[in-house]
């Protein structure tokens, strides 16, 4: 691992390096210059040192890595207003799968205030330990203390894998933790698997969703990834949970933050396509914006909502909040009906977790049929009206597609 070094015989403690660092990564210690976890290896201190007493010591990438020192999967449990968020249980489900293949265990990092009931609830899903940080200052998420506490825990327990949700909180916390630990991070993963040697295979769309990249971190530990909500099934409760809650002592110095919470007002969450159980989705193939009105009528009859692909948002036909895909919303409905959707990788990655996928497309070779459970080749402007008519009459949907 590369790190900054100081020749104390040359160092005059002039403080030029401290003044030059924009990250507070250098401090004046007890008679010596010290580098903190905030150091970004930017080398500004090297340029500022008048005696050339500072240098960057580089190590062979991964040359000193002993994989046997790292084990288990650590999950970051995101909580809001004292309630653990659903994405955490999806991460636990995947974590248990990965850990099972490696003969390891799943542990959880949980920080908040008066959240012991939530810690006990997490144990019900088969995790071996919940590391609980309970303090008034941790009631609401603030990046500095959460980062400091998680880094402290990781350095003590040495997990092999760390998983976080690709939420606003996870996307803020994960890169900071990875930077301090000098390890890699893959964001917005849609698939995770593990090799026999412990390497985590992290799959995510790349190059605008045109390819699915498989990323590994063979020379550094821990391996870190963020995972979008709704792309993986949630864990189920264990038959005989045997885990424990481990109370962690908190160094008050780690609670320091430049953020002061003056008042907290809960966000009024509107209904979201992410939580919809039935989605009628439209792609470029609908040809005209009026097609959305037709699909909206079908969605209303089925008790669902209308989703769209990215081109329709770019054309101004629909709102970004309706977009399904890796650059929009990731969904996991019970029923997904795609109309005029070709099946681009970027879109499929955001909806392939649906229980049932039904595709309607005039092109029999459309890639969407490769992931659909059921499909119809035809014009949606002929098929959908017949389906609407059948639903209004109370007929079975299957009758719509009978020949004749």
Q: Classify the C-alpha dihedral 392-395-396-397 as positive or negative.
A: negative
Using CA atoms, how far apart are residues 124 and 227, in angstroms rounded to an integer? Answer: 22
- pLDDT surpasses 80 at 144: yes
pLDDT band at 346 (very low <50, low <70, confident <90, very high): confident
Kindly report the backbone phi and psi dihedral angles of residue 260, in degrees, each rounded to the nearest multiple of 5, phi listed first: -110, 125
pLDDT at 263: 81
DSSP3 helix / strand / coil % (the chain, rounded to 5): 30, 25, 45
Region 93-111: mean pLDDT is 96
- The answer to whether 109 and 170 have CB atoms below 8 angstroms apart is no
Q: How many CA atoms lie within 13 A of 82 on its CB side?
A: 8
Region 251-269: mean pLDDT is 82
pLDDT at 402: 47
Domains of the chain (ranges plus CATH)?
3-57 (3.30.70.20), 67-255 (3.40.50.620), 273-401 (3.40.50.1220)
pLDDT band at 206 (very low <50, low <70, confident <90, very high): confident
Using CA atoms, how far apart are residues 344 and 321, in angstroms rounded to an integer? Answer: 19
Using CA atoms, how far apart are residues 39 and 24, in angstroms rounded to an integer? Answer: 7
pLDDT at 404: 35
DSSP string, 45-98: HHHH-TT--EEEEP--TTTT--GGG--SEEEEE-EETTEE-HHHHHHHHHHHHH
Tell me whether the omega of the peptide bond preceding residue 146 falls within 30 degrees of 0, making it cis. no
pLDDT band at 403 (very low <50, low <70, confident <90, very high): very low
- pLDDT surpasses 70 at 222: yes
pLDDT tens per residue across span 162-204: 999 999 999 999 999 999 999 999 999 989 999 988 999 999 8
Region 21-47: mean pLDDT is 88
Question: Which has the closest alpha carbon to 149: 253, 25, 3, 221?
Answer: 253
Question: Which has the closest alpha carbon to 74: 96, 102, 107, 100?
Answer: 107
Average pLDDT, the chain: 89
Kindly report the backbone phi and psi dihedral angles of residue 246, in degrees, each rounded to the nearest multiple of 5, phi listed first: -110, 110
- The answer to whether 102 and 197 have CB atoms below 8 angstroms apart is no
What's the pTM?
0.75
pLDDT tens per residue across span 289-318: 999 999 999 998 898 999 999 999 999 999
- Write down the residue that tokens 């409905």 correspond to: 333
- The answer to whether 117 and 104 have CB atoms below 8 angstroms apart is no
Using CA atoms, how far apart are residues 215 and 189, in angstroms rounded to an integer? Answer: 10
Kindly report the backbone phi and psi dihedral angles of residue 105, in degrees, each rounded to the nearest multiple of 5, phi listed first: -120, 170
- Burial of 383 (C-beta count, 10 Å sphere; 0-12/13-18/19+): middle
């Amino acid at each position: 691992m590369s790190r900054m070094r100081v020749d104390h015989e040359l160092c005059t403690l002039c403080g030029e390096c401290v003044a030059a660092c924009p990250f507070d990564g250098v401090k004046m210690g007890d008679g010596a210059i010290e580098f903190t976890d905030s150091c970004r290896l930017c080398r500004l201190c090297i340029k500022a040192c008048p005696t050339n007493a500072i240098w960057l010591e580089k190590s062979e990438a991964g040359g000193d890595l002993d994989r046997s020192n790292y084990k288990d999967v650590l999950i970051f449990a995101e909580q809001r207003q004292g309630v653990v968020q659903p994405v955490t249980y999806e991460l636990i489900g995947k974590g248990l799968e990965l850990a099972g293949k490696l003969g390891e265990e799943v542990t959880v990092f949980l920080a908040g205030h008066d959240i012991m009931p939530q810690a006990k609830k997490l144990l019900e899903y088969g995790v071996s330990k919940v590391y609980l940080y309970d303090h008034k200052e941790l009631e609401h998420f603030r990046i500095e203390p959460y980062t400091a506490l998680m880094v402290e825990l990781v350095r003590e327990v040495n997990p092999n894998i760390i998983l976080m949700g690709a939420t606003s909180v996870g996307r803020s916390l994960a890169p900071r933790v990875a930077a301090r630990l000098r390890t890699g991070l893959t964001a917005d993963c849609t698939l995770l698997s593990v090799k026999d040697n412990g390497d985590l295979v992290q799959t995510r769309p790349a190059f605008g969703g045109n390819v699915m990249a498989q990323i590994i971190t063979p020379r550094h530990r821990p391996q870190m990834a963020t995972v979008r909500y709704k792309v993986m099934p949630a864990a189920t409760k264990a038959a005989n949970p045997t885990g424990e809650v481990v109370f962690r002592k908190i160094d008050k110095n780690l609670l320091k933050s430049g953020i002061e919470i003056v008042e907290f007002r809960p966000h009024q969450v509107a209904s979201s396509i992410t939580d919809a159980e039935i989605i009628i989705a439209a792609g470029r193939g609908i040809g005209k914006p009026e097609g959305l009105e037709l699909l909206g009528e079908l969605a209303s009859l089925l008790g669902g909502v209308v989703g769209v692909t990215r081109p329709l948002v770019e054309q101004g036909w629909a709102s970004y909040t309706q977009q399904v895909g890796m650059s929009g919303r990731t969904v996991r409905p019970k029923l997904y009906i795609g109309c005029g959707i070709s099946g681009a990788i970027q879109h499929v990655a955001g909806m392939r977790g649906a229980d049932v996928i039904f595709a309607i497309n005039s092109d029999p070779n459309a890639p969407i049929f490769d992931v659909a459970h059921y499909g119809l080749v035809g014009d949606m402007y002929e098929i959908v009206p017949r389906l609407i008519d059948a639903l209004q009459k109370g007929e079975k949907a299957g009758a719509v597609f009978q020949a004749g």
